[in-house]
A = this chain, B = another copy of it.
Amino acid sequence: MTLTRRDFAKLGTLTLAAGFAPLLHAQPSAKKTGYAVIGLGRIAGHFMPGARNTTNSQITALVSGHRDKADRIAAEYGIPSSSIYNYENFDEIAHNPAVDAVYVALPNSMHAEYTIRAAKAGKHVLCEKPMSTNVADAEAMIAACKAANVKLMIAYRCHYEPTNLRAVKLIRDGALGQVQAIESSFGFNMGPNEWRTNKKLAGGGPLFDVGIYCLNACRYLTGEEPEHIAAFASTIDHDGRFSEVEENVSWTMKFPSGIVASCNTTYGAPMEGYYRVHGAKGWLEVDQAFVYEGLRLRADFSGTQLDEPNPARDPSQFQAEAEHFSHCVQNNLEPQSPGEEGLRDMGYITQIYRSAGIAI
């Protein structure tokens, strides 16, 4: 791939955005990056068609405990039976030349093990968020990928999503003037018997799963790292869903410049993911901000009103992140949301839980 002058200019502007991603449009390459998808749950069902829509990525292997399901998907994606693995024989993937990278779409607490095993097998790793369930695992994942000389990217969709990038660019370009405050929230009403309410698998409640979007958004919107964090957590509904993890978390953060942010997350109520950013010259809102489609940016600053619904449809966000990671793999570039980005969120999540009196 060759970067055009325009690509370089974009790169220059956007990398000011504290590691926020330039949308580099990958050129068709001779060899597509082949992915083994580990865990064939809901989110893999978005990633696989997303990757298929790219010009530089393809699904070449599956890892699952459910052979029937894997067989069905393999047929759909033209994956040979010999490239279907289970959790016992997973390490044999090292000998599969069709697999360049893995996409880790397992329950949170299994991210570390499979990232590290994939790295040892010599495969690059695109790992879902949250990166892990604690800081130590995140550090071990980074170390394992470094030792194996493979790339590690955390699948922060919003870093590669045009409406979120547009919000960041408006802020960096000064449209809002000095930013003062942000609100953000994201949650939903959790069904019964989900692995996400099993602390061993999930690490915690909505903060790990959806609150992380608000946390990460406050960081990319400001381009700063939170310096102070205070939080409360609660469980109101005692109906069996929340015997292990919290139901609600509310937290406030203060950034080095003085920008403040207040956030909520819940597993007990429908809570559209959104943020509002308030600057001296006006405000912008993305609502919804964190869903797979239907994003909308509105803003009002210096006499300008914006209302920009994003017509993109799922799985475009997964396409964009697959494209970016494959581009990095093919051109030996560091991903815009590397392991270190996930590690930082793990640190802040730990602080939030500690402030709320919850051990993780």
Instruction: Point out residues on A near B: beta carbons under 8 Å.
Output: 176-183, 185, 187, 189, 228, 230-237, 247-254, 257-266, 268-272, 276, 278-280, 282-283, 300, 355
- A178 engages B252 (CB within 8 Å): no
Interchain CB contact (< 8 A) of A234 among B258, B271, B272, B278: B258
Interchain CB contact (< 8 A) of A282 among B270, B276, B283: B270
Known: A268-B180, A268-B280. A234 touches B248 (CB 8 A): no
A253 to B276, CA, bound (A): 20
Nearest-Cβ distance from residue A302 to partner chain B, whole angstroms: 11
Known: A234-B258, A250-B181, A252-B251. A278 touches B283 (CB 8 A): no
In the complex, chain B residues whose CB is within 8 Å of the CB of A232:
228, 230, 252-254, 260
Known: A181-B248, A264-B260. A254 touches B280 (CB 8 A): no
- A250 engages B254 (CB within 8 Å): yes
Given contact pairs A181-B187, A235-B258, enumerate 14 new A-B contacts (beta carbons under 8 Å): A177-B269, A179-B269, A180-B271, A181-B248, A181-B268, A181-B269, A183-B185, A230-B232, A231-B252, A236-B257, A262-B264, A266-B278, A270-B278, A271-B278
In the complex, chain B residues whose CB is within 8 Å of the CB of A282:
269-270
A335 to B257, CA, bound (A): 44
In the complex, chain B residues whose CB is within 8 Å of the CB of A355:
230
A280 to B264, CA, bound (A): 15
Interchain CB contact (< 8 A) of A263 among B178, B247, B262: B262
* Interchain Cβ contacts under 8 Å between A and B, 28 examples: A177-B269, A180-B247, A180-B266, A181-B264, A181-B271, A182-B264, A183-B264, A185-B262, A185-B276, A185-B278, A187-B278, A230-B231, A232-B253, A233-B260, A234-B254, A234-B258, A234-B259, A236-B259, A237-B280, A248-B260, A249-B260, A252-B262, A264-B278, A268-B280, A270-B278, A270-B283, A271-B278, A271-B283
A70 to B40, CA, bound (A): 76
A265 to B278, CA, bound (A): 10
* Smallest Cβ-Cβ distance to A254: which chain B residue: B232
* Smallest Cβ-Cβ distance to A177: which chain B residue: B269
- B183 engages A248 (CB within 8 Å): no
In the complex, chain B residues whose CB is within 8 Å of the CB of A265:
181
* Smallest Cβ-Cβ distance to A276: which chain B residue: B185
Known: A269-B279, A276-B185. A230 touches B252 (CB 8 A): yes
Interface centre among A234, A237, A259, A283 (most CB of B within 10 A): A234
In the complex, chain B residues whose CB is within 8 Å of the CB of A300:
270
